[in-house]
Every structure is written in C-alpha cells, then in structure tokens.
Amino acid sequence: MQAMILAAGLGSRLRPLTSHLPKPLFPVLNTPSVRRILDGLKAAGFKKIVINACHLTNLLIGAISGWNLGQEIVIVKEPFLLGTGGALKNAMPCLEDGPILLINSDVVTDIDLKAVFEVHCQKHPIATMVLHDHPTFNSIKVTGRRVSNFSFKGRGALAFTGISVIESALIRSMPDHFPSSLIDTLSDAIGAGEDIIALMADELKPGYLWEDIGSVRGYLAAHEALLKKKGWTVFAGADSNLQPDTSIDGWCVMGDGVKVGRGVTLSRSVIWDGCAIEDGEYIKDSIVTPYGRLGLNNGPFA
C-alpha cells in the first residue's frame, strides 16, 4: 500500500510562526504533525510514503531524514506551489500504478486509514473521499453514496476531511500545466461519469477525532481533543517545570525544557520547547514559541 502526504503549503494562517518552521513540523503533543501521520501510516501497513515539499524544504528533509521509521519515504521538492493536482502530477514518477491514499499534513485524526484504503479497493471507484459534517467547511453534495458537487451550500452539505484514495489513472488525466487543483480534476471526473465514493468518517469510527491544525483555533482544538481522549489536563515534556503556585485553567501542553515563573496562569495553551514564561503571566488560548506567540483572539504578539 502506498500513500502521499500533502505537505507543501505555506501555512499562511499561522504566520509568523510558519516563517520559521514549516507547518508539518509543528508539534502536536510534542511530536511533529507529519511524524504522527507517518507513524499512523506505518501502523496501518503503508510501506511507501511520498511527501511533497516546497516551503522551508530543507528543515522538513532534515527532520524526516533523522527518523528511523522503517518505511520507504520519498520527498518530492516543488520549485513553487503546484496546487493539490499539480503536486500529484509532479510526484507521479515516484508513485506506483494503482490506488494512492492521500492525507493532508495538517490533519490530526484517529480515523482508520487502512479501512479507508480497503473500502476503496473493494469498490474500486476512481476516487474515495472521507467526508463529515463540519459546518465551517461544508460544501460537498452527496447523492446516494456518490459525491456529485463540490460547490454546494444547501441542506446536507458535507466537508472533506483531507483524507482520500485515488487511482493513478486520475493523476494521468490531470493537466500538465501547474498549478492545478485536485478538486477541479475530480469535478471533471464526475462530469465524465466516473464514480467518486463518499465514505463517512463517523461510519469508519464512531466518536472519531479530527482537527485541522492549519489555524490557531484548530491547532489548540487538536490538543484539547487529544488531552480529553487521554483524560489529561496537563502534558509536559522533559525538564519542564511548574511552580507550586502555577494555576492551570482548563488544560496546558508544554514541550521540553519549558520554564514557568511564579504566579503564572496557563489556560488552554501550547508552549513549545525551550520557552520561558515570566513571573505573573497569564497565558490564554495561545501558542507560545521561540519565534513569537499567536493568540486565538488577539493574533500575533511579541
């Protein structure tokens, strides 16, 4: 089984942090997002993984090359952003003929990726898309069990989870010019009478976990969901300290070597490796990093 992780985006909603670290390397419970996906793919039995990269590529390559994962991992550099369709067309020489599982690098989920792949192989459509009801992103119309429209805002609209399986024949049908969109190619396939199967996330796993960490809200929500699943309120890395008078309001995640001053309140926030919180600070709904801070309500702040 083969898979491709789409990891070339600029992460514009998380600037200025993504000016220093590519979004696929953002820590989620202290593990880089792309590493979590690679581990999940390995557990699901995927042996070959292709990853496209464009933004801060050397940092991504350096991190992945240091991980001994026992997988065949191929990183395909893009000279500029090629779009979701262009990324696949550009990576085609590295992909084998047959079905390919696609997953966005900013997805945090416990959906069974092996089951997604197996359902696709049983039905053998040109593509299978994992969908769910997520009002922020709902725009897909499903008729029966088939996707029929990608620009739908009526009752029953659904959202794409960023997880799909496509046939290599679909990539061959994509235009050779860049950038191009996978959604445009899928729309053309529907128009040509091809089947695109809709697979509902809650049917794959009732109570599934899914978050998109491409925004401050999504990044914090992913941590909250993961902590809730484990029954934790605090997750702290090695050599991170809390003072006796530290107050935790809700939950908090700390990386390695985090130093917390006296009289600090930490509320629904993620603090990256090596950061220091000064005496008396109140950190709420924020990402605290060596490159600056992003808050849910007040945007970037020093």
Mean pLDDT by 10 residues, the chain (302 residues): 94 91 96 96 94 93 89 93 92 93 96 96 94 92 93 91 95 87 93 94 93 95 96 95 93 96 96 96 96 78 37
Between CA 40 and CA 121 the distance in angstroms is 19
d(CA 264, CA 266): 7
Pick the CATH number of 2-212 from 3.40.50.1820, 3.40.50.2300, 3.30.930.10, 3.90.550.10: 3.90.550.10
Whose CA is closest to 102, among 86, 79, 84?
84
Task: Name which of 161, 183, 174, 176 is nearest 106 in CA terms.
Answer: 161
pLDDT at 298: 54
Q: What is the pLDDT of residue 301?
A: 41
Q: Quick one: the chain helix, strand, coil %, rounded to 5?
A: 30, 30, 40
End-to-end alpha carbon distance in the chain:
45
* H helical segments located in 66-215: 83-91, 113-123, 168-172, 182-191, 201-204
Provide φ and ψ at 155, rounded to 5°.
-60, 135
- What is d(CA 261, CA 278) in angstroms, rounded to the nearest whole number? 5
**Residue 96 per-residue DSSP state:** P
Instruction: Outline where DSSP puts E strands in 133-183.
Output: 141-143, 146-149, 159-167
